Amino acid sequence: MGGASFSQPWRSMPWTNEENLNFIKSYKPQNNDVENLRILLHGPVGAGKSSFINSVESVLLGRVTGRVMTDTISGCSFTKKYKAFKIHKDPESFYPFIFNDTMGFEQRNGVNVEDIKLALMGHVTEGYKPIPGVQLKESDQEYNSCPSLDDKVHALVCVMPADLVSLISDEVVKKMRDVRLAASDMGIPQLAILTKVDEACPEVKNNIKNVYESIYLKEQVDKFSLMLGIPQNCIFLVKNYESELQTNEDINGPILIALRQMIVYGEDFINNL
Looking at residue 73, its pLDDT comes to: 46
Condensed to tens digits (0 to 9), the pLDDT of residues 142-151 reads: 999 999 999 9
- List, for the chain, all residue ranges whose pLDDT scores fall below the cut of 70: 1-2, 69-80
Looking at residue 76, its pLDDT comes to: 47
Looking at residue 13, its pLDDT comes to: 85
**What residue type is 210 in one-letter code?**
N
Rounded to an integer, what distance in angstroms lies between the CA atom of residue 247 and that of residue 55? 9
Domains of the chain, first to last: 17-63+151-271 (3.40.50.300)
Looking at residue 133, its pLDDT comes to: 78
Looking at residue 228, its pLDDT comes to: 96
Question: 109-124 burial by CB neighbour count: b if 16+ within 10 A, else e?
Answer: bbbbbebbbbbbebbb
Q: What is the CA radius of gyration of the chain?
A: 18
Q: What is the pTM of this model?
A: 0.93
Q: What are the DSSP calls for 200-257, one per residue? A: H-HHHHH-GGGTTTBHHHHHHHHHHHHHH---GGGEEE----SS-SS--HHHHHHHHH
Comparing CA positions, the residue from 158, 11, 172, 54 lying closest to residue 107 is 172
100 neighbors 147 (Cβ within 8 angstroms): no
